[in-house]
A and B are shown apart, each in its own frame.
Chain A
Amino acid sequence: MRVAVVGLVLLLSGCGAIPPVVPSAPIRSAAPTLAAPAPEPRPTTDVDVQIRSARLEPVTQPVPPVRVQVPAADIDMDIQPVGVRDDGLMELPDYVGTAGWYRFGSDPAEGAGTTVVAAHVDSLKYGLGPFAHLKDLPAGAEIVLTTADGTEHRYSVESVTKVLKEDLPVAEVFTREGPERLVLITCGGQFDYDALRYSDNVLVTAVPAQ
């Protein structure tokens, strides 16, 4: 989004003596002779400013991931795009056998930032879900995300981490910048049977396979 405008910065900061424009008759017009003086060369811009059309562009949408496969954990699930719940938490499909892709984050084709895919580990209605196996994944395990256009994006597990839910570093997990990675999220740790709530999030961090 930003461009280097070193030229102008130097011009304006380094040459602090540039006076504001004083509207007055140009001195050059008082040429004393009738002979046409050689015209002064017109100034040129020293500045390399990014210029682009501001016209309304057609809307483009990312190609969403639609399927996640983790052979080492017997996971093969459909993915739906999800957003944010009214309480500000990430939205998730109710069904434990369907994962949610955070559509306001990165996507597998973006080439930067984190693609976040999460699913319920269990539910009172549907029982235990496939993401219950995530916590046992070994490093190097393969994860395949298939996008709606049929492209398969392959990742290799780098780490499996448990973190107290209240300590989940959301700005880091949901970043759109930095190196390309995939994070699978579910719940784990201790369970509070009164609040029906797990203590932890389980995070699988994976990087594009070599």
Chain B
Amino acid sequence: MRYTILAGTAAGILAAGALALPASALSDSTADLYVLHAVPDTPVDVWVNGELTLDDFKPGDMAGPLDLPAGTYSVAITAPDAADASAPVIGPIDLPLSAGTSYTAVAHLGEDGKPTASLFTNDLRTTAPGQGRLTVRHTAAAPAVDILAGGAPVISGLANPDEAVLDLPAGVVSASVAVAGTTDPVIGPADVDVAEGVNTIVYAWGSAEAGNLDLAVQTISGLHSAPGGVNSGQAGLAADPEPPVAAWIALATLAAAAAGLVTAARLRRQPTR
């Protein structure tokens, strides 16, 4: 039920909604694919189904999203300026991509320090109002780690190539990464903005042995939901006037008439008892 105080202007609020964009342009037939280069030091070329797709892709860079029809894609990663995908340094690996799903493929080091690749699915479910989503992915040549927020562990024992996902009240988190069971940071502390309605995906990458551990960050927005409403009064001082006296009289007359009819009906029914 909606009514307007100013004549002819009710369309304002509704029109705004009609122009709102969907949270993601993911469709029923396509997938989103992001690609992160998390192998230190070496630019690479990325080949998809034998075609050069990312040329001279630099460590620490994120590409995408590629809007791809659902299906399985063969991805090979070669040294830069390779003539073709026949001598990959990673892969070829098959990436099965489902429609309506967001993925990040990461070229990274395994715990043993050897280059590898992992495919992660990005959680794009709607977040509760006031919440942000923090995803942490271990893609570093390092043992299992704990993730600390403000010095206290919030994720424990995360191993390469696993991820942990948690929804938090939106805000800035002072995040650090420590070897599992310890609190001495090997990365950070660093301020990470876990914004409302955003999946903030943090990658630990690099190599503990080489001393180049670092964080990479990907954000996917548009997951927010609105608060349930606005309760903005409690005293009744601004209430609309009660219906005027004339209306009460009319209502009373109607009620009396109705009562009369009921009485008449009862009277009529009595002889049939």
How many residues does chain A have at the interface if contact means C-beta atoms less than 8 Å apart? 101
Whether B250 sits at the interface, judged by CB under 8 Å, is no
With A and B bound together, what is the CA distance between A12 and B6 in angstroms?
Answer: 54
With A and B bound together, what is the CA distance between A192 and B9 in angstroms?
Answer: 28
Least distance between B69 CB and chain A CB atoms (Å): 5
Instruction: Scan residues 164-210 of chain A and give those whose CB is less than 8 A from a CB of chain B.
Output: 164-179, 181, 183, 185-191, 193, 196-198, 201-203, 205
Least distance between B54 CB and chain A CB atoms (Å): 6
- Contact status B13-A205, CB under 8 Å: yes
Of the candidates A132, A167, A196, the one whose C-beta lies within 8 Å of that of B238 is A132
Chain A contacts for B25, CB-based, 8 A: 2
Q: Which of B142-150, B154-162, B211-219, B253-261 contacts A (4 or more CB under 8 A)?
A: B211-219
- Contact status A11-B51, CB under 8 Å: yes
Chain B contacts for A49, CB-based, 8 A: 53-54, 63-64, 66
- Contact status B232-A55, CB under 8 Å: no
- Contact status B230-A90, CB under 8 Å: yes
Whether A23 sits at the interface, judged by CB under 8 Å, is yes
Of the candidates B69, B81, B216, B229, the one whose C-beta lies within 8 Å of that of A54 is B216
- Contact status A178-B21, CB under 8 Å: yes
- Complex: chain A residue closest to B239, CB-CB: A191
Whether B233 sits at the interface, judged by CB under 8 Å, is yes
Whether A149 sits at the interface, judged by CB under 8 Å, is no
Whether B246 sits at the interface, judged by CB under 8 Å, is no
With A and B bound together, what is the CA distance between A90 and B228 in angstroms?
Answer: 7
Of the candidates B4, B67, B197, B236, the one whose C-beta lies within 8 Å of that of A5 is B67
Q: Which of B83-91, B110-118, B177-185 contacts A (4 or more CB under 8 A)?
A: B83-91
Known: A175-B20, A196-B236. A92 touches B230 (CB 8 A): yes
Instruction: Scan residues 21-71 of chain B and give those whose CB is less than 8 A from a CB of chain A.
Output: 21, 25, 36, 47-55, 57, 60-69, 71
- Contact status B54-A168, CB under 8 Å: no
Whether A47 sits at the interface, judged by CB under 8 Å, is yes
Whether B151 sits at the interface, judged by CB under 8 Å, is no
C-beta contact mask, B184-202 vs A, less than 8 Å → 1, else 0?
0000001111001100001
With A and B bound together, what is the CA distance between A42 and B216 in angstroms?
Answer: 31
Whether A33 sits at the interface, judged by CB under 8 Å, is no
- Contact status B234-A158, CB under 8 Å: no
- Contact status B92-A120, CB under 8 Å: no
With A and B bound together, what is the CA distance between A171 and B20 in angstroms?
Answer: 9
Of the candidates B16, B55, B57, B63, the one whose C-beta lies within 8 Å of that of A114 is B16
Of the candidates A104, A167, A181, the one whose C-beta lies within 8 Å of that of B170 is A104
- Contact status A26-B84, CB under 8 Å: yes
- Complex: chain A residue closest to B68, CB-CB: A12
Chain B contacts for A44, CB-based, 8 A: 52, 55
Chain B contacts for A162, CB-based, 8 A: 2-5
Least distance between A68 CB and chain B CB atoms (Å): 14
Residue positions of B touching A, CB distance < 8 A: 1-6, 9-14, 16-17, 19-21, 25, 36, 47-55, 57, 60-69, 71, 73-74, 76, 81, 83-86, 92, 94, 128-130, 170, 172, 190-193, 196-197, 202-203, 214-218, 220-222, 224-240
Residue positions of A touching B, CB distance < 8 A: 1-3, 5, 8-9, 11-13, 18-21, 23-26, 28, 40, 42-47, 49-60, 83-85, 87-90, 92, 102, 104, 114, 118-124, 127-128, 131-132, 135, 138-139, 158-179, 181, 183, 185-191, 193, 196-198, 201-203, 205
* 5 nearest A-B residue pairs (beta carbon): A172-B17, A159-B9, A187-B233, A84-B130, A191-B236
